[in-house]
């Protein structure tokens, strides 16, 4: 009992969010008109869970018979996921009311998918990664179709569901083959015996399929096709959550399996990753140019950003790993912020989502426009905003790994990307229109967006604050 107690304590971050989810589930089933209570329980619960995650940062080791890692890496991601969930929950309340779908289940699903994400980041075994991934994905399928009266939301959910399940099949087949080659699903065992296993073709097919499965979740080209449609059709705050939390979770698992010293000689793996990275940067950035819907543009931009992060993974060195983690933290804030501004300005029936609708926002809603400009400039990678340093790190890592061609592709495409991010800034400040943005935005939404913007600026000016956290992990 004592033994079990200490193990339960060790996974406190995951456990606390699980308990919170179950609590909201009980509230949902017992209380009529539960939306308000669920909201507040989720907000305060997530604050506590975030604090718990931070407090476990210094722990090390693994529990439950080498199934789950404790502290460090997992806790850092747990903090990131709870933050993303918290920001999403607060932003969603107004949005859901506006869209007339304010049901308490929404928060429940967000919380459960957060549990899934945290499991992925804390996994020491491929089984846990699979379970976490599925828990997260199944909740997100439902969230994507949350506005069930709208055919666009239905379509997003169906596409996400079918392609997600399809990709799960590949991921699972990869796990099965790795198990066949190694005789275990323990990640560190597989990584340590990489030299021995590399002779078996079973191992390579398994590793390849696993890579494909993760690449699908992070949105790497050519496994990215679902992203634009799903992000466009889903409720805007959910799109933000998917683009940050779900992507970060997929990356956390990706790093767990693929970023190891042992692979540094394994050039094949890095070639494959570099291929996906380059394709993502090119396709994401170039197609984003011709989008007229801001939400869809952000979807393509998220594909491009996945490409930049994959470049860090392809570098396969210490700096690359640090770079991706740093990138993920900054990306979470700027992207939730960008989707958040979108959700505040959006009106029923998908109005106010095109570039033209943003004309003159600079004079009509100066504060929101300023926040959006910060997010856009950061996404474009313009210093001193946080987005620049993320890119900078992964590029330095790739240069050190002699992937100069990849860096040239990266810098060139990021030059292209400035065009479409700036187009929105231009629309807001340099254009006029009669369109009114009369609907008020709630204080809580604005507060959350301000926090996200401050984080983007703070991390950009003092990147050491985050970097020291990340450096402690390795």
Residues from 312 through 351 that contact another protein (CB under 8 A): 318-319, 322-323, 326
- Cα angle 343-324-209, degrees, rounded to a multiple of 5: 95
Q: Is 367 in the site for another protein (CB under 8 A)?
A: no
Residue 105 within binding range of another protein, rule CB under 8 A = no
CA distance 450 to 374: 10
Question: Is 151 a residue that touches another protein (CB under 8 A)?
Answer: yes
Which CB sits closer to another protein, 219 or 340? 219
Does 457 contact another protein by CB under 8 A?
no
Applying CB under 8 A, does 138 fall inside the site for another protein?
yes
Tell me the HSE value of 79 on the side-chain side, using a 13 A CA sphere: 19
CB of 393 to another protein, least distance (A): 7
Interface with another protein (CB under 8 A), residue from 4, 411, 433, 472: 411
Binding of another protein by 175 (CB under 8 A): yes
Contact at 8 Å (CB) between 219 and 231? no
Q: End-to-end distance of the chain based on CA atoms, in angstroms? A: 32
Give the integer Cα–Cα distance in Å for 340 and 40.
Answer: 19
Rounded distance, CA 132 to CA 11, Å?
14
Out of 257, 313, 377, 406, the only residue in the binding site for another protein (CB under 8 A) is: 377
Site residues (CB under 8 A) for another protein, limited to 54-83 = none
DSSP helix, strand, coil percent of the chain (3-state; round to 5): 80, 0, 20
Q: Is 276 in the site for another protein (CB under 8 A)?
A: yes
Binding characters for another protein, 7-46, by CB under 8 A (x = yes): ----------------------------------------
Q: Which of 80, 116, 58 is CA-nearest to residue 329?
A: 80
Q: Does position 142 bind another protein by CB under 8 A?
A: yes
Closer to another protein by Cβ: residue 82 or 330: 330
Backbone angles phi, psi at 123, to 5 degrees: -65, 140
One character per residue 279-308, x = contact with another protein (rule: CB under 8 A): ----x--xxxxxx-----------------
Select from 390, 455, 393 the least CA-distant residue to 80. Answer: 455
Q: Which residues of 367-388 are buried (b: 16+ CB within 10 A; e: fewer)?
A: ebbebbbbbbbbbbbbeebbbb
Total residues contacting another protein (rule CB under 8 A)?
109
CB of residue 370 vs another protein: minimum separation in angstroms? 9
Please choose, out of 73-81, 84-92, 263-271, 334-342, the segment that lies near another protein by the rule CB under 8 A.
263-271
Cβ at position 244, least distance to another protein in Å: 21
């Amino acid at each position: 009992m004592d033994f079990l107690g200490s193990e339960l304590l060790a996974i406190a971050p995951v456990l606390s969010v699980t308990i919170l989810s179950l609590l909201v589930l009980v509230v949902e089933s017992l209380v009529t008109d539960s939306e308000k209570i669920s909201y507040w329980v989720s907000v305060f619960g997530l604050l506590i869970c975030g604090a718990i995650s931070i407090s476990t940062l210094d722990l090390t080791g693994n529990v439950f018979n080498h199934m789950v890692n404790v502290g460090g890496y997992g806790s850092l991601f747990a903090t990131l996921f709870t933050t993303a969930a918290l920001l999403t929950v607060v932003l969603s309340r107004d949005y859901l009311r506006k869209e007339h779908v304010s049901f308490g289940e929404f928060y429940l699903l967000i919380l459960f998918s957060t549990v899934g994400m945290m499991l992925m980041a804390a996994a020491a075994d491929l089984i846990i990664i699979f379970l976490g991934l599925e828990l997260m994905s199944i909740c997100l399928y439902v969230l994507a179709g949350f506005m069930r009266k709208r055919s666009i939301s239905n379509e997003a959910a169906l596409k996400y569901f079918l392609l997600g399940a399809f990709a799960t099949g590949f991921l699972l087949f990869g796990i099965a083959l790795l198990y066949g080659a190694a005789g275990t699903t323990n990640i560190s065992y597989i990584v340590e015996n990489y030299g021995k296993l590399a002779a078996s073709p079973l191992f390579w097919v398994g590793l390849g399929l696993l890579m494909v499965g993760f690449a699908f979740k992070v949105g790497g080209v050519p496994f990215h096709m679902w992203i634009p449609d799903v992000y466009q059709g889903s409720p805007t705050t959910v799109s933000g959550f998917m683009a940050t939390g779900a992507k970060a979770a997929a990356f956390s698992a990706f790093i767990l399996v693929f970023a190891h010293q042992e692979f540094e000689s394994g050039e094949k793996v890095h070639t494959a990753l570099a291929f996906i990275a380059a394709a993502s940067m090119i396709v994401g950035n170039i197609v984003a140019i011709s989008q007229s819907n801001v939400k869809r543009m952000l979807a393509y931009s998220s594909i491009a950003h996945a490409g930049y992060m994959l470049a860090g993974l392809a570098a396969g060195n210490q700096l690359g790993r640090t770079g991706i983690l740093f990138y993920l933290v900054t990306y979470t804030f700027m992207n939730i912020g960008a989707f958040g501004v979108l959700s505040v300005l959006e009106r029923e029936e998908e109005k106010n989502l095109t570039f033209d609708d943003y004309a003159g926002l600079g004079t009509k809603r100066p504060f929101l426009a300023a926040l959006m400009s910060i997010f856009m400039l950061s996404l474009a990678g313009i210093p001193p905003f946080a987005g620049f340093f993320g890119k900078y790190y992964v590029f330095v890592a790739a240069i050190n790994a002699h992937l100069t061609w990849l860096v040239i592709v990266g810098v060139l495409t990021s030059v292209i990307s400035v065009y479409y991010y700036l187009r929105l800034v231009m629309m807001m400040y340099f254009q006029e229109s009669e369109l009114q943005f009369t609907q008020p935005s709630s204080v809580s939404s604005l507060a959350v967006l301000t926090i996200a913007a401050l984080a983007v600026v703070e991390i950009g000016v003092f990147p050491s604050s985050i970097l020291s956290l990340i450096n402690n992990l390795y």
